[in-house]
Structure formats: structure tokens, C-alpha cells
Amino acid sequence: MSALIQARLQVAFDDFRLDVDLQLPGRGVSALFGHSGSGKTTCLRCLAGLERADQAYIEVNGEVWQDSARQYFMPPHQRPIGYVFQEASLFPHLSVKNNLIFGWRRIAQHQRQVGLEHACELLGISHLLARKPDTLSGGERQRVGIARALLTSPKVLLMDEPLAALDGPRKREILPYLERLHDQLQIPLIYVSHAQDEVARLADHLVLLEQGKVQASGPISQTLARLDLPLALQEDAGVVIEGEVDAHDAAYQLLDLKLPGSDLRLRLTHEALAPGARLRVKVQARDVSLSLADDSRSSILNRLPVRVCALRAGDNPAQMLVSLDADGTALLARVTRYSSDQLGLHEGQQLWAQIKSVALLG
Amino acid sequence: MPLDASDLGAIWLTFKLASLTTLILLLIGTPIAWWLARTRSWLRGPIGAIVALPLVLPPTVIGFYLLIALGPHGWLGQATQALGLGTVVFSFTGLVIGSVVYSMPFVVQPLQNAFSAIGERPLEVAATLRASPWDCFFSVVLPLARPGFITASILGFAHTVGEFGVVLMIGGNIPDKTRVVSVQIFDHVEAMEYMQAHWLAGAMLVFSFLVLLALYASRRGKPAWS
């Protein structure tokens, strides 16, 4: 991981303290995830310079934005960021087009790497240019807000719960656009959210915040599988795997997905996709069962050889959580304590994981 | 012609005074209103109260203090004399100063409300879109506060047209210099020229009504102060 975004922040409000040391990769999507009041939005606002942390050192791509030790604070309008607020916050007195070029006009010509047409096409808003913001739907407004931020050709794109103010269908309307940004742009994105499904779909790197402190920070595939974090105890605990599309069985409509850095495969019912494409799936802990031997007489398609990494009791005393390693890919299984004892589960044990369902994300 | 030359002179003078006062008030009232709308300083309360004083004080009280301050022995009068401007009491300049003080709340308060209503968010958005604070003020705040500026201008102008007590205290009653319409009406009544008083008073009534009508119609259902 090339840590290109560094932020050491200390903020004290009346009844809240934030004390974090963030090291975020310079590419992909980093999610700041936590409950409301965990300090994730404050982190983002400090990065943008909208909030001035008492003690802060912020460095992005080798450029210092704030260094309280030297009394240095770069004002927000000089930071090369794009910021998407929870509510799109379009300027009501400007047309969509004038909203879009508001920031674009204010950066030097040679810095303009994203053009109006490109941004409109990415977000699907070309047909809205002449409209006024108050005639747009919530989803359209948020897409314009994202395009407007992109048009400043930012070095970092900051998003503060951009979907939280939208209802379910509007969320589903925008998520594919966010995935496109993730796939097509080189701009690192820092995404604040308290919604696990959004994080599972978008994030490459996960930072877990709790009461102003960083609880965990790491690649999402590893962080979600950690048994020492409260995430593993949740009902819908599970892991996210980004695999590589491989062969397709047309007769059975089965798609093979290669696990990263391994020859192991997951199979899921899906139409054919271009081989080599990346596909993200979620495997929930409750859908993984364990068996001492491979059982080819089972109806379960996905059976992988795994090694037990760790065990811990679940919130419910009848359950055990087991973290597993499938040739480099982390999995999580939730089994009954009874089964755990019957199988004699212990660290380092080799056994078979049977995966009942693999959910496609996105 | 029901209005004679002195009436027309008074109308012209009133118009000049109200226009100039409104212009000055927009220039100095805007930063004051901006500061009042955004500051977290403890001075916000006291300054806000001072600006609002003319709303409750009798005009004669304001006029009296201005007369003292601007007079040859007052601190403002000393200052104007030191600057070689002489004293400004009983002059058009004095009238403008008095009107600016007297009409201040009618300009500052609508502007302050308009600025407050904009909130923090558009300013933050503008900043993240590379707009410096000045740029943001002109490209975002001014257009968004437009209704507030219209209200402030109309109220500032109309209120200056309607002033009497302050004018009489610091301006006196000098034709074409300080004799505005309200004073002229007073003179007519004193001289028992009821017909001429009627014409001027009627004109003021119609003018005031039309101004307020325009104001309320433009606010469409919202109270004029918001």
C-alpha cells in the first residue's frame, strides 16, 4: 500500500474528541465507516479544510495541506479536492451547467483533466444541462453534485454520505455511477458512510471509526474478516471478495470467479462476462458451513479447502465465529458451538468450507 | 399646478436624500449585516442592539444626540472641523448622516436575515469549488441574497422619505438644503395652507402605499422581514 494520504488529526469539541492517524492509499476507494458521532465526517471536513483541527498534519501526494506545528493551514479553496456533500447542495441560482462549470472555470486551464462532456457522460446528466436545480430529482441532483466536484480535476475526491439523503431506488440509481468512477478514474476517493452495503460494494480500503478513534484500517477483504472487530458479530457479517472472471459454462449459466492470487474458484449463476474482468461478491458468514471432508455428493457448488485462522464465541452463546483462509482469501463462517465441538475446530486445522450462496455486489 | 416651486424643491431634495442614504446604507450596511449574521463574537449582541436602536427611540432623541455630536463642540463636529469640512449640522450632509443612522436597521436587518438564511453550506460548497472568500461573496452570496437587497433598498429608501424628527433636529428648515417633504407639509399646516398640505400629504400616502405594495407583492406570502 502506498500511503499517499496522511492525516494526523486531533479535534476537541465540547463533548467529542477525535484523535486519529490515517494512512490511506493513493488510489481506489477508502471508506471511513462508523456510527454517527464516530468522527468520520469530521475527518473528511478536516481533510477539506472546512474544519480546522487544533492539532493536525495533513499531507497528500507529498504536498502538505496543514501542519499545525508550523502554523500552516491551506485554506479550503486552495486544496485540490472535490467534495460531495450529503445533500447535493447545488447553487439554486445557477443552471445545472453553470453549477457544473463553477469550479471548472476556477482552475487553471492546464489543470483541467476532466471535461464537461466526459463528466456529464460518466454521470449520465447530459440531458439536464439547461435545467434549474429545483426541477431535478434527488438522484439527479446528487449526480450533478458529483460531476461538479469531478470537474475541478481533484487530486482526492471526498464524499460525505452522498447516498444517505436518498431513498432506496435513488440509491440504486447512483451506486452504478459511483462504481464507474471507481473503475474508470485514477482519482482516489474517500467515502464516508455508515451503510455497510455501500461500503461492501465500493470500498477497497476500510477504516473503522469508533468514538473518534481508528479501530481498524486495512484492505476491505481482510478487515471484514477480522474477528476482533465488532463487524464480525453483526447478523450480516461476511467478507467481500473481488475475483477475476474466468470461464463460463453456458449450459448451466455458471460463471467461474478466480480468487485473487490463487487457483481456487467460486462459481455463481450469471451470464458470461469478459474474462479478466473484476467482479465483487459478498460471502456471508451464515452461508458458510464447515466439513471435515469434501462432499462431492452435496448440492452445494462452492466447496473450498480452507485453514482455520481463529475462533471466537459469537454474541449468541450458542454460536461460534470462525475466520478461515482459502489460499490467501479470508472467509468468515458462523457455526453452532455444538458443531464446533463435534468437529473439534482449532487453529491451523485444515477442512472444507461449503458456501451456500455467493451474492453479487453491484 | 397644485404644487409650487418650494414643494417641488422639497420633493427633489427628499428624493436625493433618500437615494444617497440608501446607497450609503447598502455600502456600509452590507458588511455590518454580514458580520452580524456570521460572527460568534460576544459583540454581536451589543452591536445588533445599537443598530436596532432607531427602531424604538423617538427620532427626536437620535436627532438630539446627533446635533450634540455633530455640533461645533461635539466629538464628530471637532473631527469634521479638523478635517477642514466645517460643521455639518443644518446642512444636507448632516441630513445624510442623520438619515443613515436613522434608517440603518431597515437596511441591516433584512440583509442580516438574508445572509443568515443562506447558511454555511453554499459557502463551503463554493470553497471546495476553488472560490476564494471574496469570489464566493460576489458569485454566491450576493445572488442568493438578492431578495434581501431588494427589501433592504425599498425599506431604507421609504423610511428615509418618511423621516421628520431627525431632520428637524439636525437639519432645520432651510429651503433646497434641508427642507424635505415631511417638513414642508408641517410648514404648510402651520401656515394654514391646508390645500397644499393635502396635495403633498396625499402624494406621500400614495407613494408609501405603492412602495409597500411592491414590496409585499414581491415577497409573495412571506413576511417583509424574512
What does the domain layout of chain A look like in residue ranges?
A: 3-220, 238-242+279-360
Please, which pLDDT band fits residue A218 given cuts at 50, 70 and 90? very high
**pLDDT tens digits, residue range A117-159?**
999 998 999 999 999 999 999 999 999 999 999 999 999 999 9
Question: What is the CATH T-level fold of the domain A3-220, as seen in this structure?
Answer: Rossmann fold (3.40.50)
Contact list in B for residue A87 (CB cut-off 8 A) is: 121
**pLDDT tens digits, residue range A225-268?**
899 888 888 888 999 999 999 999 999 999 999 999 899 999 99
For chain B, how far is it from start to end, CA to CA, in angstroms? 42
Nearest to A91 among B127, B135, B140 (CB): B140
Residues 6+ apart with CB under 8 A from A110: none
Helices (H), A285-354: 337-343
Whether the pLDDT of residue A28 is over 60: the answer is yes
Question: What confidence score (pLDDT) does residue A259 get?
Answer: 93
Question: What confidence score (pLDDT) does residue A14 get?
Answer: 82
Question: What confidence score (pLDDT) does residue B222 get?
Answer: 52
| Angular region, A279: left φ>0, alpha ψ -120 to 50, beta rest | beta
Is B130 in contact with A107 (Cβ distance < 8 A)?
yes
Cell representation of residue B214: 411592491
Q: What is the mean pLDDT of chain B?
A: 90
A49 CB near a chain B CB, below 8 Å?
Answer: yes
Residues in B lying within 8 Å of A, measured between beta carbons? 121-122, 124-133, 135-136, 139-140, 143-144, 146
* CATH node for A238-242+279-360: 2.40.50.100
- Which candidate, A188, A131, A135, places its Cα nearest to that of A157? A188
Buried b (16+ CB within 10 A) or exposed e, B123-149: bbbbbbbbbeeeebbebbbeebbebbb
Superfamily of domain B5-219 in CATH is MetI-like (1.10.3720.10)
Average pLDDT of span B23-30: 97
Q: What is the mean pLDDT of chain A?
A: 91
Is B127 in contact with A81 (Cβ distance < 8 A)?
no
Question: What confidence score (pLDDT) does residue B225 get?
Answer: 44
Please give the ipTM for the structure prediction.
0.86
A74 CB near a chain B CB, below 8 Å?
Answer: no
CB pairs under 8 A between A and B: 61
Using CA of residue B183, residue B187, residue B189, residue B190, what is the dihedral sign? positive
Number of CB atoms found within 10 A of residue B33's CB: 26
Whether the pLDDT of residue A1 is over 80: the answer is no
Using CA of residue A182, residue A25, residue B128, residue B120, what is the dihedral sign? positive
Query: Where does residue B189 rank: exposed (0-12), middle (13-18), buried (19+ CB within 10 A)?
Result: middle
Is A50 in contact with B121 (Cβ distance < 8 A)?
no
Nearest CA to CA, how far is B114 from chain A (Å)? 14
